[in-house]
Each structure stands twice: as structure tokens, then as C-alpha cells.
Amino acid sequence: MAEKVEIGAKVLSENERRAAVIRAKLKEHRIVCLNLVSSPGAGKTTLLEHTLARLNDEIRIALVAGDVQTENDANRLIRAGGRQVQPIVTRGACHLDASMVENALTKIALDRTDLLFIENVGNLVCPSSYDLGEDAKVVIVSVTEGEDKPLKYPGMFRRSSLMIVSKIDLLPHCPCSIDMLRSNALSINGDLEVISVSALTGEGIDQWYGWLRSRVSNARATNS
């Protein structure tokens, strides 16, 4: 005789438990945490290098940089002025999980941090299942990737709060309509904010810095 027992348990409950611990710890320290996701090569590290160069003296930034292999991204962020940078090398795994981030955070001085970036592994599918304790996911799409990217990866765009359209300096050379990209993204997630930037020329990037500043000052205001 077999008997059916109702369970209702989340498969990733252990990851969610750890993510909740991270979230509580970051909140206690009034730290804004952003999980940066994109395809490989969309420009996450470049955007962060420029962000460090511009905001490092006004906001205390810590970074966790995930890569499948090499610590190249972490080293780039250190060269760009990152004072607290922790690499996570996943050795084949296609996403970061909360236990990896929990471990990396033990090496970061949270009492000297206002803003924590988690640079996820370049992948628009797998990282969407794993809560890392972030306040928001920021999805980065470069103009060379095509306007239909949000339609192809709805799970990730649905879970993100901000879409950065990157490499807009390449618009004269590739057939991409930012309006179409934006409307595709908004059809998946009507609440998504959109900022278009070129890290190379600096176009639009002040809007990104403004978005970060307001997040950080809101965190200070609401928790104090």
C-alpha cells in the first residue's frame, strides 16, 4: 500500500534559507546588494570598472566576481580601484548559489561597505533560479545581441528590476532598435526600468550612477 503525503517544500529551500541569511546580514549593515546577470560578453565587468572609477570615493563598494574559470574579472576590478574584491571560480558550474556568496562575504568587511555588486556567471538561464540575497537583479544586454533577447530569456527578464542596454556606441554599426528592445523587455516585465549606456563614450552612464546613488541613499534613510 502506498500513501500520498502532501509536502509543499521548495526544492531550493536550502539555497533560499542561505539567501535569507545573507539578505538579513546585508540589511543590518545597510548594504545595497545588486546581482548582475547577462550573457557572456555583454559588458558586466567593463560597466563595473567604470563604476568603480567614478563612485569609489563617494560610495564604499565591494564586489564578488563569479567566473567559470580564471580570476580575470576580479583582477580587472582590483586594477580599476576595487578595494574589496572577492573572486568566485565555479569550475564549470553555470551559476552562483547562495552558499558561494555566503563564503565570499566572510572575506568582505561589511561594516565598511555601502554597495555590494555580485557579478554572476555570464548566463541568462541558470542564475535566474538562485536567489543570492540581493535587493535586485540588474540584467545587462548589449546592442549586438539582438532586440529579441528578452523574449528568448523571459525567466531572467521577469525577475530583474533594471535592464542596462550596453555598448550603445555600436548602434551605428548594428541593426538594433533600442525602442524595440525596450518594448520587448517591457512586454515580459512591465515594471522593468531601462537605462542605455556606453561605458566607452560615457553616454547615458550618469543615469546609471544616479540610479545607484538613489538606491544607496534610500537604504541609508530607511534603515537609520
Residues that bind another protein (CB under 8 A): 1-15, 93-95, 97, 125-126, 128-129, 151, 154-156, 158, 186-191
Nearer to another protein, 125 or 170 (CB): 125
Q: Specify the long-range contacts of residues 201-209, CB closer than 8 Å, at least 24 apart.
A: 201/169, 202/50, 203/168, 203/169, 204/168, 205/50, 205/54, 208/47, 208/51, 208/164, 209/51, 209/54, 209/55
Q: Which residues pair with 89 in a beta bridge?
A: 67
Q: Which is nearer to another protein, 21 or 125 (CB)?
A: 125
Q: What is the distance between the alpha carbons of residues 157 and 160, in angstroms, rounded to a whole number?
A: 5
Report in angstroms how near the CB of residue 79 gets to another protein at its nearest.
31
Q: What is the dihedral of CA 175, 176, 179, 183, to 10 degrees?
A: 120
Q: Which is nearer to another protein, 189 or 196 (CB)?
A: 189
Considering the complex, state which of residue 2 and residue 221 has its C-beta at the smaller distance from another protein: 2
Question: Comparing C-alpha atoms, which of 103, 113, 50 is closest to residue 83?
Answer: 113
Identify any residues that bridge with 193 across adjacent strands, giving them in sequence order: 162
Identify which of residues 183 and 223 has a Cβ nearer to another protein in the complex.
183
Shortest Cβ 133–another protein spacing (Å): 17
Nearer to another protein, 168 or 188 (CB): 188
Nearest approach, Cβ of residue 138 and another protein (Å): 17
- Nearest residue (CB) to another protein, 72 versus 183: 183
**How are beta strands 61-67 and 84-89 bridged, if at all?**
parallel
Q: Quote the least distance from Cβ 173 to another protein, whole Å.
A: 30
Please give the C-alpha separations between residue 74 and each of 48, 71, 89, 208, in angstroms, as whole numbers: 11, 5, 10, 21
Question: Smallest gap, in angstroms, from Cβ of residue 86 to another protein?
Answer: 21
For residue 162, give Cα distances in angstroms to 4, 21, 35, 121, 213: 43, 24, 11, 18, 14
Smallest separation, CB 11 to another protein (Å): 5
Least separation, in Å, of the C-beta of 127 and another protein?
8
